[in-house]
Structure 1
C-alpha cells in the first residue's frame, strides 16, 4: 500500500479548517461524547480510532449537527457552526458520508451523482477549492463509470459506499467527514477507499474519518485520535 503524502503540510500559524472545542453530545439523557477537542488542517487526513461503540460516529454526527443535543464550539472554514443545521454546514462545504450510505435507491447512479452537484467553492483565504466533475469522479471510481444507468438498489454494499462518497464529492466539499469507510466491504473496496482518501488529500480536500481498522487508519491518515467511551485523546 502507498504511504500518505503531505503536499499541504500545515504550519504553526495556519488556522485549522475544522476546530472543535469542548464538544458534548447526547442521545436523550445518555451522554455519548464528552468534551471532545480536535482540529483538522487544510489538506490533512485525521482519523478517529476506536472499537465499535466508542463514540466515533456520534462525534462525526455532533460535528455535522445531526445529534439531538450538543454543546461546545465547532468552527469550520472560519464560520461558527456550533448551532447550525446540517444543511447549513453542508452549504459551507462540509461533506458527510454516513456509515449506512443513505443513497437514493430508486435513482440511477448518474441521477444520484447529479443530484449532489453544488457550485464551486473557495477557502476562507479566497483561494479556489478543488472542483469535481462527473469525469473526475468516474476517474476516481471507474466501477461507477460502467454502471451509470444502473439503479442504485441493484448495487453491492461496496459499490453503494463508493457512490455515497462520489455523490458527496459532487458537492465540491472543502472537507469530508467519512464514517467507517472500510466497514463491511470487500478487501478490494477497502483498497479503493484508501486510494480515494489519498487522492482527496492530494487535491487539497481535508478528511476526518472514523475507523476501527487501525491498519487502514495508519495507512491513510496524517494524525490519529483515540476514542473510548466518548472520550477523545491524541495518539
Structure 2
C-alpha cells in the first residue's frame, strides 16, 4: 500500500518515468536486491529517458515534417547520389545549427531532397532542438492567410524562433512581393539573432533563384543571408520514386 501511494505521488509530481519504472520493478527480485543508491539511480535514469522521449515526440509533432519517420541512419549513400557519408556524420551532431551554418539541397525531382532534409529535422528534434517545416506553397498560403487576419507578426515570431527552419521545394511556385518581403524579414532577423539554421531544398540551382524570389533587391538580400557559407549539397541520380515503384 505504501509503495502504491509513492507511485501516485510521483505521478502527481509529473515524475512519470520514475513512477513507471518503480511500478515495473516492484516485483523484480533483482531490483529489490540492489542497494538504495542503485535503485534511485535506475529510477532517475528512467525519468531522464522518459522526459527526453516526451520532448522528442512533442518537438517532432510540432515540426510537421513531411517525412517524420526519416532518419539519418537510413540515408542512401550510394556514390551515384552525390552524398558524402563523412559530411553527414558531422551534420548528425547538429553543430551546423549552433554555428549557425545553413544547408541547401538541390537536384532533380525525386532524388530525395525533401526526405534527407526531414531526416536532418528529425535528428535536430532528437537533440532537443525546435524545428519548423514548410513547403514553399505552404509558407506562401500561410503568409497570405495571416496577412488577411492580421496575425503576421505572430507567424514571423514563430519562424524566427525555430532553431531549424526547413523550406522545401523552393521555386515550385514564385513568391509574390508580400511573401518575398516577409521571408526576407524572417531570414534577416534570424541572421541578426543567430537563432538557428535554415535548410532549403530546390530543384533549381542557386543562380536561378532570382526568378522566383520577387524583386531583385529582395532576392539579393535573401540569397546573401541564405547561401553565404552554407553547405551546398547537390543530389544526383535517378528518381528514388522509380525504385520504390519497382519494389
For the criterion TM > 0.5, the same-fold answer is: no
The higher radius of gyration belongs to 2
TM-score band, normalised by the shorter chain? Answer: 0.3 to 0.5
Greater relative CO, 1 or 2 (CA 8 Å, sep 6+): 1
**Larger strand share, 1 or 2:** 1
**Larger helix share, 1 or 2:** 2
Normalising by the residue count of structure 2, what TM-score does the alignment of the two structures yield? Answer: 0.41
Normalising by the residue count of structure 1, what TM-score does the alignment of the two structures yield? Answer: 0.42
